[in-house]
Amino acid sequence: MDFTLKLLEATTAKQGNQWTTILLMAALFGVMYFVMIRPQKKKQKEEQQMRDAIQIGDEITTIGGICGRVVTVKEDSLVIETGADRTKMKITRWAIQTNNTAEDRLQAERAAQAAAKEAEKAEKKGRRSKKSDEE
């Protein structure tokens, strides 16, 4: 009887350890998902959107470091012009690293927004000083 009691205690302790191990593994997988997998998928999605948004006339850089202007856009490839002699190259979409034209537009938009905020602040300051002068 004493032996069966000890066996029962050992079995319940093993089951408790199993559940703890399973919960620990699930928590570890959850942390790995949010730290590693999710940011990588988000980055890949942004890169694919950038590649899909390329238009004729955009300045791009390939993963090999070749810079050029897009001349022709097809479903899975494009033709770019490089250099002063306007050499044309056919490349696949996955080989595009950055869209320099889009980045320049984004920087210009950010600069315009910053300038608008500064102008708004200056305008508010001017109104305040005008009110204090009137009083």
Which residues of the chain carry a pLDDT beneath 50? Answer: none
pLDDT digits (tens, 9 = 90+) for 14-23: 666 788 888 9
pTM: 0.59
Residues 95 and 77 sit within 8 Å (Cβ to Cβ): no
C-alpha span between 123 and 133 (Å, rounded): 15
* DSSP code of residue 95: G
